[in-house]
Structure 1
Amino acid sequence: MVERTKEIVNMEERPLIEHLRELAYRLKRIFISLLITFLIYFMIGVQFITTSLPFPFFGLKYILVTIPYLYPSIFNSIAVQLTQVFIYDELPKGVKLIIINLFDPLFASFYISLYLALFTSIPIIVREIWAFIAPGLYEHEKRLLKSTLIPAFLLFALGSSFAYFILIPLMLKIVLIYAKALGPAVLSTLGLRSFISTIMTLMIATGLAFELPLIMTGLTAMEIVKSTTWLQNWRWGVLISFIIAWIISPGTTGGIIETVIGLILSSLFFVGAIASKLVEKKRYIKQK
């Protein structure tokens, strides 16, 4: 209680205009970082050169080393190279990509560059947001937020990986089965822009959805929601999980993908409820 009183006393009340200026400054830095990283992925390509270097150890004269180098290129940028990876990894055999609109390849590179810029700028974005809100937080709230940064990043990466390696291949295979069932008169084709935007949307949405246990645990740790509340309202949690699954799924698989995502999110809800119970129990023991 004494520590909390000291924190309140040490807080300096600042005029609203100063907060707005500070917010604009932080948003400007985030925008610049996003712009720079976006341009790198959109306009810079990468190649790997294998060369031999002197290595007079362990009886060896030379050792092969792979060295990456960057070069300016819009037509073979990192985004274009990643688009090729998506096509070879995710596109089922028998499905052909087509260009429906003239600028579809450009938009595909744009989507991927934007996703990569967001993903790689997360440390800067978090740092700027933290610098803006930290002065108004108590010490225990600062410690709590700091402890969630790495888990939040890992959960987002896990969700995106789940979408890339499991959801998207499953969805495309189901779509291909439906297309073949219609007979040889229906060609199995897919628009390039639609293909890339679907992958990016699912990876981002699933990555954010995987943050559910962390959000639940954080609300309990900040004494906003009790752990018993999560468990008592598990039916609402399951219902909301399936609603989120319906929102983020493409809706072209007859409910299969929606059911898979809903079950995964429901499981994450129960994981968050159990984690909240453990956090609450740990806090109770610490207070005693």
Structure 2
Amino acid sequence: MTERIREVEKFEERPLIEHLRELAYRLRRILVSLLVTFLIYFMIGIELVTIYLPFPFFGLKYVISTIPIPYPSLFNSISVQLTQLFIYNELPKGVKLIIINLFDPLFASFYISLYLAIFTSIPIIVREIWAFVAPGLYEHEKRFLKRTIIPAFVLFGLGSAFAYFLLIPFMLRIILLYASALGSAVEPTLGLRSFVSTVMTLLIATGLAFELPLIMTGLTAIGVVKSKTWLQNWRWGVLVSFIIAWIISPGTTGGIIETVIGITLSTLFFIGALVSKTVERGRSKNR
């Protein structure tokens, strides 16, 4: 009798074990893709090589094209080159970067490589998550999720661009104004590791926050939340937007950055509510 019970329990647990194995397989593929792309950005550099075509007269040369050539490099990798780009574009004039700890340049390169690995692996991550959850979805849910892959990628990019071109320069200029107000006794400096980690945190957090309209539309498309619920509870949406802004903001500008992010996310909330209403009307017409 005991053996019979054990056989039944083993049979009942098998589906769960298979799901866990499938989940572990998908997670391994995601981790491998992240590791490979991370090592590429962390250990590979790009050199622009110009190809010339010699002209037979007067020793002249014509430029045919410029080709990027990858090569192994730990000290001039893609992440190091991107760090230099961040410093050149984002750092205001008058602010100096300093190395406080010995491994600050290494950590800066690590942060940027990790961000680039996550960003470029988004299609693989979405594909593996899709492969895991697709067998348990309805056909209309599968169609909707397929259509959200590109918008999710675009919204993440827009959020990162919003942080890179607007939030970060504005935040650094506010810091410079505060430092200047203290007089010549205080020199405006930033630690390299702190600067890069702050930039990367804002890029990732703002990119994820910009997914809000897509999440709202998805919940309406699969029938979890009605579109009128979003509009009826818009005060809560605005409140949550400002809470998210408070969480992802570095908190060094006296509430200015938090207000800008909160207003932006609130606008995205209303956009998501309107798109959800359009999607809900489309579903009702197709029935």
Q: Distance in 2 between matches of 1:76 and 1:255?
A: 38
Q: Distance in 1 between matches of 2:18 and 2:272?
A: 38
Q: Which residue of 2 aligns with 1:95?
A: 95
Q: Distance in 2 between matches of 1:63 and 1:70?
A: 20
Which amino acid in the other structure matches residue 267 of structure 1? T
Q: 1:53 to 1:139 in 2, by over 3 A?
A: farther
Q: Distance in 2 between matches of 1:243 and 1:82?
A: 31
Question: How far apart are residue 240 of structure 1 and its match?
Answer: 0.5
Q: 2:123·2:149 contact (CA, 8 Å) conserved in 1?
A: no
Q: Distance in 1 between matches of 2:234 and 2:53?
A: 61
Which amino acid in the other structure matches residue 202 of structure 1? L
Q: 1:26·1:128 contact (CA, 8 Å) conserved in 2?
A: yes
Residue 219 of structure 2 corresponds to residue 226 of structure 1: no
Q: Which residue of 1 aligns with 2:114?
A: 114
Secondary structure of residue in 2 paired with 1:81: helix
Question: How far apart are residue 140 of structure 1 and its match?
Answer: 1.1
Which sits farther off after the overlay, 171-180 or 120-129? 120-129
Residue 157 of structure 2 corresponds to residue 157 of structure 1: yes
Q: Which residue of 1 aligns with 2:58?
A: none
The 5-angstrom pairing of residues 41-190 of structure 1 reads 41-53=41-53, 62-190=62-190
Q: Distance in 1 between matches of 2:84 and 2:14?
A: 51
Give the 4+ runs in structure 1 shifted more than 3 A.
none
Q: Distance in 1 between matches of 2:285 and 2:27?
A: 41
Q: Distance in 2 between matches of 1:118 and 1:282?
A: 34
Question: How far apart are residue 52 of structure 1 and its match?
Answer: 2.0
Which amino acid in the other structure matches residue 238 of structure 1? V
Question: How far apart are residue 63 of structure 1 and its match?
Answer: 4.6
Which sits farther off after the overlay, 187-196 or 133-142? 133-142
Question: How far apart are residue 236 of structure 1 and its match?
Answer: 0.5
Residue by residue, what CA displacement relative to the aligned partner does 1:78-112 show, whole Å, maximum 9, x if unpaired?
00000000000000000000001110000000000
Question: How far apart are residue 23 of structure 1 and its match?
Answer: 0.8
Which amino acid in the other structure matches residue 95 of structure 1? V
Residue by residue, what CA displacement relative to the aligned partner does 1:147-195 show, whole Å, maximum 9, x if unpaired?
1110010000000000000000000001100110011111100000000
Gaps of 5+ in 2: 1-12, 56-60
Residue 273 of structure 2 corresponds to residue 264 of structure 1: no
Q: Distance in 1 between matches of 2:121 and 2:207?
A: 15
Q: Distance in 2 between matches of 1:178 and 1:25?
A: 51
Count of residue pairs the alignment pairs up: 270
Question: How far apart are residue 64 of structure 1 and its match?
Answer: 2.1
Q: Distance in 2 between matches of 1:267 and 1:247?
A: 18
TM-score when scaled to structure 1? 0.91
Which amino acid in the other structure matches residue 249 of structure 2? S
Q: 2:242·2:259 contact (CA, 8 Å) conserved in 1?
A: yes
Residue by residue, what CA displacement relative to the aligned partner does 1:223-271 show, whole Å, maximum 9, x if unpaired?
1101111001000000110000000000000000000000000000000
**RMSD across aligned positions (CA):** 1.5
Which amino acid in the other structure matches residue 148 of structure 1? T
TM-score when scaled to structure 2? 0.91
Which amino acid in the other structure matches residue 186 of structure 1? V
Q: Distance in 1 between matches of 2:52 and 2:137?
A: 54
Q: Which residue of 1 aligns with 2:281?
A: 281
Q: 1:53·1:65 contact (CA, 8 Å) conserved in 2?
A: no
